[in-house]
Amino acid sequence: MEALRDFFLPPAKSTLAHEVDALFWFVHLSSLVLTIGILIAIAYFIIKYRRKSENDVTPVITHNNKLEVTWSVIPLIITLVLFGWGFQTYVSLTTPPDDAYEVNVTAQKWLWNFTYENGARSTGELHVPAGRPIKLIMSSQDVIHSFFVPDYRIKQDVVPGRYTEVWFRVPKAGESIIFCTEYCGTGHSDMSGKVVVHEQEQFDTWLADNAGGGGGKPSDLAPAEWGKQLAQEQACATCHSVDGSQMTGPTWQGLFEETQQMSDGSTVTADENYIRESILNPSAKIVDGYQPVMPSYQGQLNDEQISAIIEYIKTLK
Ligand code: CUA
């Protein structure tokens, strides 16, 4: 059984991998059983009901209720089980735990860049602690890429102009390969990387050693600190308070993940994509009670700067 598993699938290194694999085996083994059953039935009927003499006449059969109900209800039950199970697995694949450790991922032709909460950066290698849920917040600087780690059974498109998320938890230290699995040009097949899973202590050491990254660029600050600095440079505080008071625009305090009432009656959760849209295209959604007076920062702030400002807003609780 283990040899069969290793033949068909890469090693299952994340907690999600086991859930996905269970479903994989259920679908494939039940299909195999059904296929063999059908083949045997076909062979049996060919022999049993073959034409034995010139005078053989097939009787007229209009219907058979018992048979028809049986072959409708059994597949229906199997399909419902598959749906329920598949949906459950989909939900756990797409719902990161609240205490997940967040890493920002920026894809570009043809590299993976990772930014950590203390400002550490790495290219091509994603460093994470073992045993903790990891949530990646991903965006692309150019074309669509896709983040794929076969060992973890996770795959998610990385799209320019918006954020997508993926999460995983790996119980043991080790390494796994990252592939780009969306064709993105000449270097697509070289756009690989690896996840390096450390024990928590080794990870803390790695993170501390790489804090700041070196070079004195403003981006060497922690993203949230850089975001605070950018917000000052851009004079965001002219309209947005950080202490809950109401100014020309809504306050940033407690904004992140908050449900916002829009002037058109709809409600929006202030997640990364909403804040990004509000910075680039402020008039797309107007919070109830405010005027559409904010200018667009399209061309003034790049993706990395916007991500930093969002990180800053997240800290304003
Ligand atoms: Cu990036 Cu293919």
Cβ of 178 below 6 Å from ligand 1: no
Cβ atoms within 10 Å, residue 233 = 11
Residue closest to 93 by CA, chosen among 15, 162, 34, 41: 15
Residue closest to 242 by CA, chosen among 176, 317, 152: 317
Look at strands 133-140 and 101-108 and give their pairing: parallel
Cβ of 228 below 6 Å from ligand 1: no
Could you tell me how many residues make up the chain? 317
Cβ of 44 below 6 Å from ligand 1: no
Atom of ligand 1 at shortest distance to CA of 181? 2
Beta partners for residue 149, in sequence order: 154
Structure-block tokens of residue 309: 């400002």
Atom of ligand 1 at shortest distance to CA of 182? 2
How far is ligand 1, taken at its centre, from the CA of residue 149, in Å? 13
The whole-number pLDDT of residue 216 equals: 33
Cβ of 138 below 6 Å from ligand 1: no
Look at strands 154-158 and 101-108 and give their pairing: unpaired
The whole-number pLDDT of residue 302 equals: 76
Cβ of 145 below 6 Å from ligand 1: yes
What are the E-state strand segments in 2-144?
A: 101-108, 111-115, 121-123, 125-129, 133-140
The residue whose two tokens read 């409708």 is: 72
Cβ of 188 below 6 Å from ligand 1: yes
The whole-number pLDDT of residue 220 equals: 65
Which tens digit of pLDDT belongs to each residue from 193-222? 999 999 999 999 888 877 765 333 455 678
How far is ligand 1, taken at its centre, from the CA of residue 177, in Å? 14
The whole-number pLDDT of residue 212 equals: 61
Which tens digit of pLDDT belongs to each residue from 95-108? 999 999 999 999 98
Structure-block tokens of residue 70: 């049986």
- How far is the C-alpha of 229 from the C-alpha of 309, rounded, in Å? 9
Name which residue sits closest to atom 1 of ligand 1, judged by CA: 145
Cβ of 13 below 6 Å from ligand 1: no
Atom of ligand 1 at shortest distance to CA of 145? 1
Yes or no: say if 167 and 96 are a contact pair by the CB < 8 Å rule.
yes
Yes or no: say if 309 and 231 are a contact pair by the CB < 8 Å rule.
yes
Main-chain dihedrals φ then ψ at residue 108, nearest 5 degrees: -150, 165
Cβ of 180 below 6 Å from ligand 1: yes
Over its length of 317 residues, how does the chain's per-residue pLDDT go in tens digits? 778 778 888 999 999 998 999 999 999 999 999 999 999 999 999 999 888 888 888 888 899 999 999 999 999 999 999 999 999 999 999 999 999 999 999 998 888 989 998 888 888 889 999 999 999 999 998 899 999 999 999 999 999 999 999 999 999 999 999 999 999 988 898 888 999 999 999 999 888 877 765 333 455 678 888 888 888 877 788 788 898 888 888 999 999 998 989 988 899 999 999 999 999 888 889 998 888 878 787 767 777 888 889 999 999 98
* DSSP per-residue string spanning 143-164: S-EEEEEGGGTEEEEE-BTS-E
- How far is the C-alpha of 175 from the C-alpha of 155, rounded, in Å? 17
Residue 285 three-state SS: coil
Q: What angle do CA 133, 136, 140 make, to 5 degrees?
A: 170
How far is ligand 1, taken at its centre, from the CA of residue 136, in Å? 17
What are the E-state strand segments in 160-213?
A: 164-169, 174-180, 193-198
Cβ of 191 below 6 Å from ligand 1: yes
Residue closest to 227 by CA, chosen among 133, 123, 104: 104
The whole-number pLDDT of residue 222 equals: 82
- How far is the C-alpha of 62 from the C-alpha of 110, rounded, in Å? 63
The whole-number pLDDT of residue 218 equals: 58
How far is ligand 1, taken at its centre, from the CA of residue 157, in Å? 10
Residue closest to 168 by CA, chosen among 117, 83, 105: 105
Cβ of 158 below 6 Å from ligand 1: no
- Going 197 to 200 to 202 to 206, the CA torsion angle's sign is positive
The whole-number pLDDT of residue 54 equals: 84
How far is ligand 1, taken at its centre, from the CA of residue 290, in Å? 41
Count of alpha carbons within 13 angstroms of residue 48, beta-carbon side: 6
